[in-house]
Amino acid sequence: MSATEVGLVVGSPAAAEADAVVVGLLPGEDDGHPVLVAGAEEIDAAFDGELAALLDLAGASGKAEEVVKVPSRGAVAAKLVVAVGLGPAENGIPDGEQVRRASGAVARALAGSGRVVSTLGTVDLTAAAEGTLLGAYRFTAFKGDPEAGKKPVAQVEFSSAGDEDGLEVLRHAVAVAHAVRTTRDLINTPPNALYPETFAARAKELGEAAGLDVEVLDDAALAEAGFGGVLGVGQGSSRKPRLVRLSWSGGATPVKKVALVGKGITFDTGGISIKPAAGMDHMTSDMSGAAAVIATTVLAATLELPVAVTATVPMAENMPSDTAYRPGDVLTMYGGKTVEVLNTDAEGRLILADAIVRAAEDEPDYLVETSTLTGAQMVALGTRTAGIMGSDELRDRVAAHGRAVGEDAWAMPLPEHLRAELDSRVADLANVTGNRFGGMLAAGIFLREFVAEGLPWAHIDIAGPSFNTGGPWGYTPKGGTGTPVRTLLALLEDIAANG
């Protein structure tokens, strides 16, 4: 995959020989023309201070993600002036997410370009670089000719406000974008190519390349150790389940120890409680949580965060067959609790329960789990907002980080009365309630049963946000989005700084 290169612009953006120079626009007050944002001063000066008026004539309004291209005709060294809308901004200063989305929209609109100069770095260098790199993403591994079509923009140079170490900011953004792109690649890899064995092999390769400790349990090892949830869900498939553990030490003096857990269902047919055929292809993304925690753990090592991180990742394929687990089966989970399976399509919580119990054996300070767990998440919050559950403080901390990095998130309750609805006639608990009300919360209540007493924990339901079934927007392409890698990173960085 040819990746976009980023750098800092040397000298005036007006003098830079490039295919295009990018300026940011805000909507004007009342009927006035749109307004240029910081960073565009020298470009505007080259147009005798009339750039905003000119862009207005060309139809630019400053509305979010609108891209308008105007030939420069020699006024500046770049061939094109490209204006991108940021949308309305408080006090005329766009926030990071506005810059990230606008930069993503520009990266998409300038696919096929060679060298581009972006003045959006002056507003927010981190956001401009991240948005550019994430917006330029394409997944072509399974195209007959992966090189066909427009190439991602080759090179983007950013202006900067100069109040920070620009090169260091870019290095960080490149590492973050790499982790998100890795996550997207894993999600976008089809289920006949990515199944537990190959997924585990890929995780091992990524982990070892980053210097992590890697452990892979195959089905025999899972049986030996009593991982009844992972084995039960995986037993209907000829592609046998795995449990992968990746550990970053946190360097010489780790501040805290964090357990990450991610759902790795490589394809979810629903099993014997089979799903309708329409839209079932979406279930190629049911390992998005697993992909995100693998990439985040690798990223923690790349950035040498002073936090010990261990990802515990259960991987299975949920298939109907004569060997599949059935509604009515009772599974003995890792750690000994028993679960009556009333619906084989509520499989995520079963593999996660095993993994959560295993993760707690390391005695972490925090446990964060993420999964494409329930359709109910989308009913409650839509396709772009993750539902966060767990212990009060960590839940709110995760939700706040999600919103701050542009991975929208909202704290949800775990109503106590739902626990009784998971009571089982024969086992310690059932895997579903008898109705669909509060389905996202019931799944959270189920997981809570497996979290060690007193361990601060959070569950991030990303059923909707992990996979974009609509058109591209901002820096979000179709398919795998890479959510919540940046939320998890923000949390780890927060823990590194504040405990």
Q: Does 317 bind Mn ion (CB under 5 A)?
A: no
CB of 342 to ligand BES, least distance (A): 9
CA 418, chain centre distance (Å): 29
With CB under 5 A as the contact rule, the residue among 268, 317, 340, 354 that binds Zn ion is 268
Closer CB to Mn ion, residue 333 or residue 352? 352
Least Å distance, CB 229 to ligand BES, is 13
Residue 345 binds to ligand BES (criterion: CB under 6 A): yes
Q: Which residue is nearest to Mn ion (CB)?
A: 345
Cα separation, 57 vs 46, in Å, equals 17
**The binder of ligand BES chosen from 341, 432, 441, 496 (CB under 6 A):** 432
Q: Which residues pair with 156 in a beta bridge?
A: 6, 116
422 in contact with ligand BES (CB under 6 A): no
By CB under 6 A, residue 282 contacts ligand BES: yes
- The answer to whether residues 16 and 117 touch, using CB atoms and an 8 Å cutoff, is yes
Nearest Cα to Cα of residue 381 among 449, 457, 466: 466
| Contact present, 273 and 316 (Cβ < 8 Å) | no
Q: Which residue is nearest to Zn ion (CB)?
A: 268
42: closest CA among 119, 121, 113? Answer: 119
Where b means 16+ CB within 10 Å and e means fewer, 261-277 reads: bbbbbbbbbbbbbebee
CB of 389 to ligand BES, least distance (A): 15
Residue 461 found at the interface with Zn ion (CB under 5 A): no
| Residue of the chain from 56, 268, 354, 461 that contacts Mn ion (CB under 5 A) | 268
Q: How far is the CB of 345 from Mn ion (least distance, A)?
A: 4
Q: Closest distance between ligand BES and the C-beta of residue 359, in Å?
A: 20
Q: Answer yes or no whether residue 340 interacts with Mn ion by CB under 5 A.
A: no
The site partner of 23 among ligand BES, Zn ion, Mn ion, none (C-beta below 5 to 8 Å per kind) is none
Q: How many CB atoms lie within 10 A of CB 44?
A: 18
Alpha carbon distance, N-terminus to C-terminus of the chain: 37
Give whichever of 70 and 351 is closer to Mn ion, judged by the CB atom: 351
- Residue 345 makes contact with Mn ion by CB under 5 A: yes
Span from 21-29, 342-350, 355-363, 420-428 in contact with ligand BES (CB under 6 A): 342-350
Closest contact distance (angstroms) between CB of 356 and ligand BES is 16
Stretch 228-267: interaction string toward Zn ion, x if CB under 5 A: -------------------------------------x--
SS3 per residue for 69-125: EEECCCCCCCCEEEEEECCCCHHHCCCHHHHHHHHHHHHHHCCCCCEEEEHHHHCCH
Of 342-401, binders to Zn ion (CB under 5 A) are 348
How far apart (Å, rounded) are the C-alpha atoms in residues 261 and 230?
Answer: 13
Q: State yes or no: residue 391 binds ligand BES (CB under 6 A).
A: no
CA distance 351 to 236: 14
Q: Which does 28 bind (CB under 5 to 8 A by kind): ligand BES, Zn ion, Mn ion, none?
A: none
> Which region among 373-381, 414-422, 452-460, 468-476 touches ligand BES (by CB under 6 A)?
373-381
Residue 90 has φ and ψ, to the nearest 5°, of -65, 130
155 near ligand BES (CB under 6 A)? no
Residues annotated catalytic, as ranges:
275, 349
- Pairwise CA distance, residues 387 & 460, whole Å: 6
Q: How far is the CB of 347 from Zn ion (least distance, A)?
A: 6
Applying CB under 5 A, which part among 87-95, 250-258, 346-354, 410-418 lies near Mn ion? 346-354
CA of 255: how far to CAs of 305, 344, 454, 497, in Å? Answer: 9, 40, 19, 8
384 binds ligand BES (CB under 6 A): no
19 binds Zn ion (CB under 5 A): no
By the rule CB under 5 A, 340 interacts with Zn ion: no
Q: Site residues for Zn ion, window 281-310 (CB under 5 A)?
A: 286
Residue 317 in 3-state DSSP?
strand
Element (H, E) at 340: strand 338-340
- What minimum distance in Å lies between the beta carbon of 388 and Zn ion? 19
Q: How wide is the angle at C-alpha 478 spanned by C-alphas 475 and 481, nearest 5°?
A: 60
191 binds ligand BES per the rule CB under 6 A: no
Those residues with Cβ within 8 angstroms of residue 420's Cβ, 6 or more apart along the chain or in another chain? none
| DSSP 3-state of 264 | strand
State yes or no: residue 407 binds Mn ion (CB under 5 A). no
Q: Which does 256 bind (CB under 5 to 8 A by kind): Mn ion, ligand BES, Zn ion, none?
A: none
Question: Which lies closer to Mn ion via its Cβ, residue 178 or residue 275?
Answer: 275
Q: Which residue is nearest to ligand BES (CB)?
A: 375
- Residue 17: count other Cβ atoms within 10 Å of its Cβ: 10
CA distance 42 to 23: 10
CA–CA dist 200, 496 (Å, integer): 28
Rg of the chain taking only CA atoms, in angstroms: 24
For ligand BES, the binding residues (CB under 6 A) are 268, 282, 286, 343, 345-348, 372-376, 432, 439, 463
For Mn ion, the binding residues (CB under 5 A) are 268, 345, 347
For Zn ion, the binding residues (CB under 5 A) are 265, 268, 286, 348
